[in-house]
Amino acid sequence: MDPFGQLKRVITRTYDYDFVDCIASSTEIPAHVSHSNGEVSTQSKGTTRSGFDCNGIFFDDKELHLARDLARESRRSRHNVFPVEHFSPPCDSPCLLWPLKSSGSTMRNGMMPCSLFLSTLDILVDIFTSGNLAPYRLVMSLDFQILFVALKGHDKMKKCEKRTIAGGNINHDQSSFRCSTTVFHNSELLPVVDKACKNKMLYSKTYPMKYEGENFQIPGPYLIYPLMKDKEYTGGCMLKIL
């Protein structure tokens, strides 16, 4: 599936640890979806959201306001490291930096990602309890006005793009897939897609995992999620997430 939760393809891993496409099959078309140009569509409308896109990771304005409030509260204690003052690009004047933990929501082409979004204070506090800082920084003025979000590298920071994304339909591939002698019906795949979307929120989960290898017929980038017939995954075939 793609970052919006749209099912695309299924792949299988060979004995040589390569991945090959499974064969698309019209074995089953679920009754709860509708046809549209060879694809099926399940309605997943959402509201328009504004925020910043950092290489496909989307930070909603609502999430940023929560982070700003937490930064302001943290500033009152001299024992806290963050927020820290910053005096160089991309800031044109002295600013404050506050680390952000990705919610896992991703977006592409200005569309709404999977409709699973966590923006609670507990998630932001977890930045400090986990001990691992993601490379994302909320950049604020010295009086805590939100300026932008930046991606922090070893020796410089890059501004993330301000974006407004709109909700839309989720258009799943209608096919079932045959991997050798095993057929995965479309109705079996959609719950796995939903679970994969939820797991994107959790740092403790290994999958979905970024796929690195040769390209398939459908353009990447890809994520992969393990798939087994008639059971929860413990290994086996992979559901390709584009």
> Who has greater pLDDT, 40 or 158?
158
Give one DSSP letter per residue of 148-181, joined into a string.
EEEEE-SS-EEEPEEEEEB---EEEE--EEEETT
The pLDDT of 51-80, averaged and rounded, is 83
pTM higher than 0.75 for the full model? Answer: no
Q: What pLDDT score was predicted for residue 185?
A: 85
**Is the pLDDT assigned to residue 19 strictly greater than 80?**
no
> Who has greater pLDDT, 104 or 239?
239
Adjacent-strand bridge partners of 159: 150
Window from 10-19, 44-53, 101-110, 173-182 with minimum mean pLDDT: 101-110
Lookup: tokens for 49: 């959201």
The pLDDT of 128-139, averaged and rounded, is 68
CA angle, 84 then 86 then 91, to 5°? 135
The pLDDT of 159-176, averaged and rounded, is 73
Task: Share the mean pLDDT of the chain.
Answer: 69
- Cα distance between residue 85 and residue 88, in whole Å: 10
Domain spans of the chain, in order of start: 9-44+169-241, 49-165
Lookup: tokens for 88: 């160089």
**Residue matched to tokens 């993330």:** 160
Closest CA to 117 of 130, 132, 106: 106
- The gap from C-alpha 123 to its chain's centroid, in whole angstroms, comes to 15
Percent of the chain with pLDDT strictly greater than 90: 9
CA dihedral 28, 29, 32, 36 (to 10 degrees): 170
Q: What pLDDT score was predicted for residue 44?
A: 42
- Cα distance between residue 108 and residue 90, in whole Å: 24
The correct answer on CATH 3.40.50.1820 for the domain covering 49-165 is no
